Each structure stands twice: as structure tokens, then as C-alpha cells.
Amino acid sequence: MESSSRITVTQREQSMVMNDVKMMYEIYASVPPKTQRLMMELQRDNHMEYLLRGLQQLGPSFCVLDANRPWICYWILHSIALLGQSVDAALEDRTIDFLSRCQGPDGGYAGGPGQARSCFFLEDCCSTAVFIFYQMPHLATTYAAVNALITLGSDKSLLSIDRGKMYTFLKHMKDPSGAFRMHDEGEIDVRACYTAISVASMLNILDDDLVRNVGNYILSCQTYEGGIAGEPGSEAHGGYTFCGLATMILINEVNRLDLAALIDWVVFRQGVEGGFQGRANKLVDGCYSFWQSGPGEAEYHIDSPEATPESDISEGKESSDGTSSEGSQNASCPVNFDNVGFVSSEGLAEREPLFHGIALQRYILLCSQDPGGGLKDKPRKSRDYYHTCYCLSGLSVCQYSWLKDEDASPLPRAVLGPHSNLLEPIHPIFNVVLDRYHEAHEFFSRS
């Protein structure tokens, strides 16, 4: 029996959600076609208004204990990019400047700028206590900041990332066991492994030292259910399954996992509601539209890179940031770092996705969409930027899930609702819009 902190949902909770979802679908079925079209339409303008408002609010007035502002930048910017839009130059500059202030002097990004954050007056005396919060670089906010800057995409944005220091930071987060810690003396888990490997891969600083033994750790987290847990002995969960599988693909060790069991576990997480749950016996939630559909997509799309001893890294070339990659290619770690994560453009044939894409789109559009802007977990819940980002990411995965070729257009039958619902395609491993990924990949391959 595995140790678990899971509280299984009660039958009452489950049937309440089922009723809410059923009601949404019944309302849809009972209204005239014109109203149906409106209900199934992605409310682009309202989503944009909601997202832009959020980005404007990221200034210094944000609450003292808020330590995830790079995440908010990423969730909002990625959602905007998915909608095929971008921010104006002034807002882009402000965002780059803000994220630069989150970058630590020794690399990585913290949850906010590292200056004194606030002061409080004590109620029972007249003295003033000044609390200084130094934000600590953290792998999760580092991943968010890097993805946000890649999504902005300009040279200024990409150049603002100190890759040399980033490499030092990632090495510092690497535990002797091979896994990664979220922050200095922080917890080791599958999220940390994914965020570290994803960042290193995107920035073209991935080498043998970072890869060493990380696959063993991920392997130790695959559970008897088939999915991947956050740490050994815990329960399989969609978020960690995404992180673990994506990491294994990036380090070219995916075949070490029991993929049949993993895919089996993932597909059974799609419920009759159409949406996915994060783990067995829990409630459907819009954010798992990405976490649970992403792994299958990633697995389908990604080339299996062969070892190429001629690659820059195997030749021990020194990168412009001074990061030496000498001796990184060897028999025990046959990774072609030039190719990892590249989406295949071979073949034009369709393929059948692993999940029911239309049912998932129906759940996202009717149950997770706030018509006034933003997306959410389920009916009765409120919108937020996290759910907006991952519901839209999941929607994009569905729309392109029948295509083998990244350049082909989705077939009308793959897109639920009007064609204006079509989002930009994403890279399923990094979760950035595909053309931003290609631009960044090219930029960091040059430098």
C-alpha cells in the first residue's frame, strides 16, 4: 500500500459536479442554434481584456506575500500568445524589466524582485518593525520566467536571461542523487527535475552533468498505477506525470518508463464529463486538460534523437556564456542535445489521438469558460490565470491532436465550435507557442 495524503472525494461531491456538468450540457441542448453557437464560442475579446488587466496589475503594488509573479506573467503571456495576440512594446518592456529584477545575482529567478518588500507597524507599541523579504531563486519561478521571456520572444527579452549564471544555478540545484531541488535546501521532486531540464534544454545549456541520474529518479516515481508521482512512494498524479514524462523525453530515456501502463493510466483519467481528473477518484478539473493531454501528445510528436558524436556538445565547444560542455556525450548518456524536444515535421498522415478531443473541448468551452473572460476549474468555480493558461493550452492540444505534421492546419472536425476558436499550436513539452519555441531554439543555438 502506498503512502498517500489523498482525500478521496465523496459520492455527494462527485454527483454535485456531475449534475452541474450535465446541467450545462442540457442547457446547451435546449437553446436555439444561434445561442448554441454563442455558448460554444471562445470569447476571445473578453479573455484578452481579462488577461491584459492582470498584466497591468503586476506592478509594485502587488501584495507582500505574493511570491509567484513570474508565474502570473507566464500564465497571462502564454494565454495571450495562444489567442494569437501579443502585448504592446511598453508592456513588453515593463515585463522584461520586472522579470530581470526577479533574476538572482547567482542565477535563476525568484518569485518577485529581491529587494526589501514591506514594513509593518506593530499594534501594541509605537516602534516600527521592518521585515525584509529577500526572494530566493526557485526552479518553478525560473521555469515560469524563462517561458514568459521566450513567449515575449524579442532579442531584448531572450538576452535578458543570464545563461551562464543559470547554468551555475541549475548545477547548484542538482542533488548528488541526480534529482533536483526546488530551491536551496528545498524539496526534491519530479517538478524540480522537469523545470530544471526544461529550462536547460530551452536555453541550450543542457549537458551530461545536468542529466546524470535524473532518469533514475523519475523512474523511481512511476507507480503501480502507471502514472508518475511527485516523489517515490506517493500517488500518481497528472501534473507529475506530465513533468516526469516530459523530462524523460528531453533526456532521451523515455523508453525506460512503462509507457503502456502510463498511457493506460492517463486515458482512464478522462471522465464521462469530458474533462480530465488529476488522479483516480478525484474530481474533473479544467487545468488537467493540459497536464493529462500533454503527455500523450508529447509522446506522439517527439523525435527520438539518435546520438550524434559530431554535435557541438560532444566536441566540447565552449558556449558564449562560458559554459563548457566538454565530454557531455558518452555511451551512458547518448543524448543529442541539438535535437531534444524538436517536434517532428515528418509525415502528413492523420493519427488518432489517445483521448476524446471533442468531449474535452466541450467540457472546456461549456464548463470551464467564464463568458465574461477567463477560464476555470469547473462550473461554480471562479476564473483565475492558472486555469486560463492550462485550459487554453489543453484546448490547443485537442485542436491539433489529429495532426502528424506541425505545419498542417487542423481539420474542421477536430475543432469544436466556430473556426475562430482555433488557437495557436503549442510545443507539448515546454508549453510555449510553437513558433516562439522555434525562434528561441534558433536564437540559443546561435549563441
Spot the catalytic one: 269, 376, 387, 441. 387
The residue written with cell numbers 442547457 in the block is 27
- Complex with Zn ion: residue 192 or 287, whichever CB lies closer: 287
Give me 355's grid cell. 483521448
From 95-103, 278-286, 323-331, 402-410, span contacting ligand FPP (CB under 6 A): 278-286
78 is catalytic: no
CA distance 379 to 383: 10
According to the binding rule CB under 6 A, does residue 285 interact with ligand FPP?
Answer: yes
Vertex 354 angle, CA 227 and 280, to 5° = 35
- Complex with ligand FPP: residue 237 or 427, whichever CB lies closer: 237
Residue 377's binding partner out of Zn ion, ligand FPP, none, with CB under 5 to 8 Å set by partner kind: Zn ion
Residue 237's binding partner out of ligand FPP, Zn ion, none, with CB under 5 to 8 Å set by partner kind: ligand FPP
Task: Name which position in 163, 183, 279, 436 contacts ligand FPP (CB under 6 A).
Answer: 279
CA distance 21 to 23: 5
CA distance 123 to 117: 20
| Residue 386 · residue 374 · CB < 8 Å | no
Class of residue 382 by CB neighbours under 10 A (exposed 0-12, middle 13-18, buried 19+): exposed
| Residue 262 · residue 273 · CB < 8 Å | no
According to the binding rule CB under 6 A, does residue 181 interact with ligand FPP?
Answer: no
Spot the catalytic one: 264, 321, 384, 405. 384
Contacts of 164 (CB under 8 A, 6+ apart): 107, 321, 322, 323
- Minimum Å gap between C-beta 143 and ligand FPP is 6
Spot the catalytic one: 288, 386, 400, 437. 288
Taking alpha carbons only, the member of 47, 4, 71, 21 closest to residue 277 is: 21
Task: Name which position in 92, 162, 273, 377 contacts Zn ion (CB under 5 A).
Answer: 377
- Complex with Zn ion: residue 11 or 382, whichever CB lies closer: 382
- Complex with ligand FPP: residue 215 or 417, whichever CB lies closer: 215
Q: What DSSP string describes 336-372?
A: -TTTTTPBP-----B---SS-HHHHHHIIIIISB-TT
Q: What DSSP string describes 92-120?
A: HHHHHHHHHHHB-TTSSB-SS-SS--EEE
- Complex with Zn ion: residue 79 or 323, whichever CB lies closer: 79
Taking alpha carbons only, the member of 220, 241, 239 closest to residue 231 is: 220
CA distance 266 to 62: 37
285 is catalytic: yes
From 7-15, 88-96, 120-128, 375-383, span contacting Zn ion (CB under 5 A): 375-383
End-to-end Cα spacing for the chain: 50
Question: What element of type H or E holds 399?
Answer: helix 385-400
CA distance 72 to 111: 10
193 is catalytic: no
H helix and E strand count, the chain: 18, 4
The three-state secondary structure class of 138 is coil
- Complex with Zn ion: residue 266 or 287, whichever CB lies closer: 287
From 106-114, 156-164, 279-287, 404-412, span contacting ligand FPP (CB under 6 A): 279-287
From 109-117, 214-222, 276-284, 314-322, span contacting ligand FPP (CB under 6 A): 276-284
Binding residues for ligand FPP restricted to 208-267, rule: CB under 6 A = 237, 239-240, 243
From 110-118, 120-128, 191-199, 391-399, span contacting ligand FPP (CB under 6 A): 191-199
Spot the catalytic one: 47, 78, 237, 269. 237
- Minimum Å gap between C-beta 180 and ligand FPP is 12
Residues that contact Zn ion, how many (by CB under 5 A): 3
Task: Name which position in 278, 341, 357, 394 contacts ligand FPP (CB under 6 A).
Answer: 278
317 is catalytic: no
From 15-23, 256-264, 275-283, 437-445, span contacting ligand FPP (CB under 6 A): 275-283
- Complex with ligand FPP: residue 143 or 169, whichever CB lies closer: 143
Taking alpha carbons only, the member of 390, 367, 373 closest to residue 52 is: 373
Binding residues for Zn ion restricted to 285-324, rule: CB under 5 A = 285, 287
Residue 195's binding partner out of ligand FPP, Zn ion, none, with CB under 5 to 8 Å set by partner kind: ligand FPP
387 is catalytic: yes
Annotated catalytic residues are 237, 279, 282, 285, 287-288, 377, 384, 387
Which residues are at the interface with Zn ion (CB under 5 A)?
285, 287, 377
Which residues are at the interface with ligand FPP (CB under 6 A)?
140, 143, 191, 194-195, 237, 239-240, 243, 278-279, 282, 285, 291
